[in-house]
Structure 1
């Protein structure tokens, strides 16, 4: 699964290649986390249904899997959407501005996004310390595992903002960076 950046005109050379590699790594990691979480959730809950049907008793541990894995599924999807430019946005002002002003606005937005999400990741470390004593009774897994998904997602969105910021500096048309193209979804 490669992230397509062909629509970003004017981006060439080693810095662009490095940015594309970084974006591809972020995208693949987030997609893999989401897919793996979904598969494990499906298999564990499906297995619980089959065992309950055959034996009238449950295994117990699959009931804790949504608490542990759903945050990873969601945050992986958030990062994938950020990589694809698929989050909802209002571009009226951006479309009305000349290219130079739109680049400045987009750069400022990426600085704000990066600062916000890296700060949220930092705050998430305190949350992990607080929740570290909570343990799921059947699996014995710490609640830290679920809260770690938030930190990983915040870092993923923050890194995406950094690579977007750098792309905005080297591209000819700033509106093309992370521009959502519905044809790519097919």
Structure 2
């Protein structure tokens, strides 16, 4: 996310700058978790194919890598999209509202989202505990490792909603508009 001229020149208040920076950090962390996950999945599967056709043998652990990393890829991509306000949403009605009702609506949606994501993160801990006893057959890695992505992802979404609430309350909500993207910012 690129900061506007106002925020670079210091006309935006410090709380708004901190909130924008926080969302930017969450976005970049989530983006890199997604990138590392998809590259690791691709390389492990490619290695499995090469070994199978060149050496006529099988690397069993290769099939377990997507089981471990795909949940991380999915949840981190969801958090990255939320941090950039690029998630799926129907904004037609909200965009037509006057300024004050629009703020109230955005606040209400983010409060509900923050509570819902927080509850899902807490309940995800139960799933992690249950899955902790299950192990993948070859690597013996606990399936709880994959389910931690759900807990951390929902916590990330709750934090993004909390930041959105703070931005609306501090008047920095104009910086929470969706970031139009024409390709990734120089991945």
Say whether the fold is shared (TM-score over 0.5). yes
CA spacing shift, 1:183–1:62, aligned 2, 3 Å: closer
CA distance in 2, matches of 1:79, 1:7: 26
Pair 1:69–1:183, CA change in 2 (3 A)? closer
Partner of 2:61: 61
Q: Indicate conservation of the 8 Å contact 1:164/1:177, yes or no.
A: no
Summarize deviations over 1:63-104 as a string: whole Å, max 9, x none.
001110000001111011101111121122212221011101
Q: Where do 5+ consecutive residues of structure 1 fail to align?
A: none
- 1: distance between equivalents of 2:145 and 2:96? 45
Deviation of 1:32 (Å): 1.1
- CA contact under 8 A between 1:71 and 1:147: conserved in structure 2? yes
Please state whether the residue corresponding to 1:182 is helix, strand or coil: coil
How many residue pairs are counted as aligned between the two chains?
A: 182
Paired residues of 2:6 and 2:12 also in contact (CA < 8 A): no
- Give TM-score, length-normalised by structure 1: 0.90
How many Å apart are 1:21 and its aligned residue?
A: 2.3
1:33-182 to structure 2, matched below 5 A, reads 33-171=33-171, 174=173, 176-182=174-180
In 2, the alpha carbon distance for the partners of 1:8 and 1:93 equals 28
Give the Cα separation in 1 of the matches to 2:100 and 2:6. Answer: 16
> Unaligned regions of 5+ residues in structure 2, if any?
none
- Take 2:17 and 2:99, find their aligned partners in 1: how far apart are those partners? 24
Which one has more relative contact order, counting CA pairs under 8 Å at least 6 apart?
A: 1
* Residue of structure 2 equivalent to 1:20: 20
In the TM superposition, structure 1's runs of 4+ consecutive aligned residues that sit over 3 Å from their partners are 183-186
Deviations 1:30-49 (A, max 9, x none): 01110110111111111111
